[in-house]
Amino acid sequence: MEERLNKREMTVGLVRACFGMVLVYLAFIGALGNPAARFETSILALAATMAAVALSLFIPERWAAGAWLFFIIDAAAVGACVWFLGGLNSWAVYFIPLLAVSAVYRFAPDLSLAVSVALAAGIVAFASFAQQGTLYQAFMWAAIVMAVWAVSVQRFRVSQEEKYKMMYLDQEKAASELEKKIRELEEKLQSHTITDTVTGLKNFRYFRARLEEEVARAQRKNQVFSLALMEIEDMPDFSKVYGEQETRKALARLAARLKDAFRNTDLLCRYSDTQFMMLLTEADAKNSLVPIMRMRKNLEKTSFGPDNRFQFSYSFGISCYPYDAREAGGLLSLASASLRRSRQKGSGMITLASSLFKKGPVS
């Protein structure tokens, strides 16, 4: 509702309402129209005032014809009251300068001055000469109109500056909120591109880049780290029995168990549908066995499914930098080979890459 109001007409509408209420009062006391029908006349004047104010408040600001129409109505009403209520001795004369207020809020400043002064001088001159007035009165009222016009222009400019300032602040706030939403969307998109949506762990694309960085860091600082690969052997059977929704729940629960078992400095990722990969910083193969065996023990005690009756079987393969390989591809290949050896040995087995070949650093 507020958005549809013509804010440029609010000041003029207030002046129009005051003028109309004076007419209503005069009609009610019998000073305007037929005293015998003063009640009907006052009701008619009140209805006309309310209609004029309401219509002017809802005409579009950019509708020039509407602005001219209501200005002509205001001028005609004031002129008629001056003529019929005693000329320059009537109370309506004091509303003549207010035509300048009406013009300022409708037209350009120069045009509003010319229109309001010419109209006011015309009304006063016609009323004064028709009723034995003087030219001095016409010039006096024209000067008053110009003074009122100057004050109205200044007030209008201040109100417009405040309006544009508020519009600027609103636009600035909207731009700030838009930038915030864009940043949130970018962060969300970036998070989705490096995070598995089911488990919340990093995906392999991100993990591979971090693995390359860890190889470079370990080489630069002469440090060790381990790469562990875990496979859930009977996940396909679980999916056939319980369906996709329960499978997603089980994977998310498994990911939570993995997070609890490892340090914050370790990196976890979902390698494939049934495999998870762990990068254990500053831990050789034997030291990495401690958290992995602890995790395996906790997982073997955990049941899954809606009835909590299904237990998974797990196999593990571990490779170590620099003793098994000195580059990311070699570490991944050896971890996969160790996992295959664990599956051959049986459920729950952990195989170190160093047990596949001759122990010792790779030359």
Burial 269-281 (b: 16+ CB within 10 A, else e): bbbeebbbbbbbe
Q: Does residue 73 fall inside a structural domain?
A: yes
Residue 176 placed within a domain: no
**Angle, vertex CA 312, rays to CA 307 and CA 315, nearest 5:** 170
Stretch 355-359: mean pLDDT:
66
Phi-psi region of 87 (alpha: psi -120 to 50; beta: other; left: phi over 0): left
Of the residues 167, 191, 220, the one at which a domain ends: 167
**Looking at the structure, do residues 83 and 139 belong to the same domain, yes or no?**
yes
Identify the pLDDT of residue 335: 93
Looking at per-residue pLDDT, the higher value among 126 and 300 belongs to: 300
In a domain, 228, yes or no: yes
| One domain, residues 28 and 122 | yes
The tokens for 137 are 């009165």
81-123 residue pLDDT tens:
777 776 666 767 767 777 777 777 666 666 666 776 777 766 7
Considering the domain boundaries, does residue 28 fall inside one? yes
Whether residue 150 has pLDDT greater than 90: no
363 lies in some domain:
no
102 in the same domain as 208 = no
User: Same structural domain for residues 211 and 142?
Assistant: no
Structural domain range at position 29: 2-167
pLDDT of residue 183: 77
CA dihedral sign of residues 304, 310, 311, 315: negative
For residues 148, 152, 155 and 158, what is the CA-based torsion angle, rounded to 10 degrees?
A: -140
Residues 86 and 144 in one domain: yes
Do 90 and 142 lie in one domain? The reply is yes
Contact assessment for residue 235 and residue 313, using Cβ atoms and an 8 Å cutoff? no
CATH of the domain at 214: 3.30.70.270
Q: How far apart are CA 10 and CA 166, in angstroms?
A: 18
Bin 107: left if φ > 0, else alpha if -120 < ψ < 50, else beta. beta
Average of pLDDT values for 50-58? 71
Higher pLDDT, 343 or 67: 343
For residue 180, being part of any structural domain is answered with no
* Residues 312, 206 within the same domain: yes
For residue 350, report the phi and psi dihedrals to the nearest 5 degrees.
-125, 125
CA distances from 153 to 12, 62, 186 (A): 13, 19, 48
Tokens of 124: 């006063």
H/E element holding 115?
helix 109-130
**Domains contained in the chain, number:** 2
Confidence of residue 59 (pLDDT cuts 50, 70, 90): low
Q: Is residue 187 part of a domain?
A: no
- Residue 125 and residue 209 in one domain: no
Query: Is the domain of 229 the same as that of 156?
Result: no
Q: Is 123 contained in some domain? A: yes
On whether both 29 and 149 belong to a single domain, the answer is: yes
| pLDDT (0 to 100) of residue 317 | 94
User: Do residues 139 and 243 share a domain?
Assistant: no
164-213, pLDDT tens digit by residue?
A: 676 767 777 777 787 788 777 766 665 567 888 888 898 888 899 999 99
- Residue 8: the pLDDT is 62
Q: Is residue 113 domain-shared with residue 245, that is, in the same domain?
A: no
How far apart CA 149 and CA 326 sit, in angstroms, is 87
pLDDT at 216: 93
Averaged confidence pLDDT in the chain? 78
The answer to whether 78 and 19 are in contact (CB under 8 A) is yes
Final residue before a domain boundary, out of 167, 186, 221:
167
Query: Does residue 358 carry a pLDDT above 60?
Result: no
CA distance 97 to 10: 18
Tally of residues, the chain: 363
